[in-house]
Amino acid sequence: MTPPIFIALDFTTEEEAIHFLDRNGLNGVPVKVGMQLFYREGPKLIERLKERDHSIFLDLKLHDIPNTVHQAMKNLARLEVDFVNVHAAGGRRMMEAARQGLEEVTNGHRPRLLAVTQLTSTDQDMLNQELLIDKPIDDVVKSYAKLAQKGGADGVVCSVYEAEQIKQIFEDDFLTVTPGIRLLGDENHDQKRVATPAIAKQKQADYLVIGRSITKVKNPKQAYNRAVKEWNHESSETIN
Ligand SMILES: O=c1ccn([C@@H]2O[C@H](COP(=O)(O)O)[C@@H](O)[C@H]2O)c(=O)[nH]1
């Protein structure tokens, strides 16, 4: 079975991204396409990745008034990717509009809708002092997750540290997708709520998103295999 690990293709051009996959023998692995690459290459890149049999998480994090998100989601749905997302902070009506947009243009196989709870680059201090949210971060994540479910999301983007609690609150099929993954010894960069693949597995995350720990290292294939091994319990590296 393909491991549920999305490699974040945070490259500037399609050629860089494809060359990275080819050079490292990562053909057909699940990939995440974010703003950096999509804003440059757009839908034709998605078509190319689909032809190459990649599952795709299109991570554009929509956050706007409900009508705009509704119309935008109709266009994204036509790309027939596996996952799309919005910021839960846009509110319940916006998420309902997103879901409705996805349903309006797909027959059966619609992309699954995720809602970002709190970015993994946010920590407790930033939440309190910059965003002026005076609550423990895991409570905020849980509360946004509840809102997301009411708004029709199929799951949330959260850190590994909230995944387990979310799994306890919701049915098993409400998904947790967790970025902020680092292999032991790697730099955290701008990420704050960080964990290894082994911890992610322990905390019952459904999917991992890994970027720089794979894409910016000397031997990406070896790093990917390390993540897969941890996920499969073949090695148990713990928290950074
Ligand atoms: O809360 C979030 C939501 C999305 N991301 C995205 O995931 C990758 C992580 O990249 P790394 O290099 O592994 O840090 C990146 O594309 C982000 O846009 C996130 O990190 N946190």
ipTM confidence score: 0.99
What are 176-203's pLDDT values in tens digits? 999 999 999 999 999 999 999 999 999 9
Determine whether 61 is an active site residue: yes
Catalytic choice (59, 138, 154, 186): 59
The pair of structure tokens assigned to 222 is 């070896």
Nearest CA to ligand 1 atom 4: 179
Output the CA–CA distances (angstroms, integers) from residue 104 to 63, 68, 70, 153, in the order listed.
Answer: 19, 15, 10, 15
Give the position of tokens 């902070």: 89
* pLDDT in the model for residue 239: 45
Residues with CB under 6 A from ligand 1: 8, 10, 34, 59, 116, 119-120, 157, 179-180, 189, 191, 209-213
Catalytic choice (50, 64, 123, 206): 64
Q: Do the annotations mark residue 221 as ligand-binding?
A: no
Residue 198 identity (one-letter amino acid): A
Q: In this structure, are residues 11 and 39 in contact, taking their beta carbons and an 8 Å threshold?
A: no
pTM of the model: 0.96
Q: Which atom of ligand 1 is nearest to the CA of 117?
A: 1
What are 25-47's pLDDT values in tens digits? 999 999 999 999 999 999 999 99
* pLDDT in the model for residue 122: 98
As to burial, measured by CB atoms within 10 angstroms (0-12 exposed, 13-18 middle, 19+ buried), residue 206 is middle
* pLDDT in the model for residue 240: 41
Q: What are the strands, taking DSSP E only, across 22-123?
A: 31-34, 56-62, 83-87, 112-116
14-23 and 43-51 are packed helices; what angle lies between their axes, rounded to 10 degrees? 20
* pLDDT in the model for residue 161: 98
Residues of the chain with pLDDT under 50: 239-240
* pLDDT in the model for residue 167: 95
CATH architecture group of domain 5-231: Alpha-Beta Barrel (3.20)
Biggest distance spanned by C-alpha atoms of the chain: 47
* Most ligand 1 atoms within 8 A of CB, residue of 7, 11, 33, 120 to mutate: 120
Q: How many angstroms separate the CA atoms of 189 and 205, rounded?
A: 22
Q: How many angstroms separate the CA atoms of 192 and 240, rounded?
A: 11
- Give SS3 for 205: coil
Q: Do the annotations mark residue 191 as ligand-binding?
A: yes
* pLDDT in the model for residue 237: 56
* pLDDT in the model for residue 235: 63
* Most ligand 1 atoms within 8 A of CB, residue of 5, 7, 10, 58 to mutate: 10
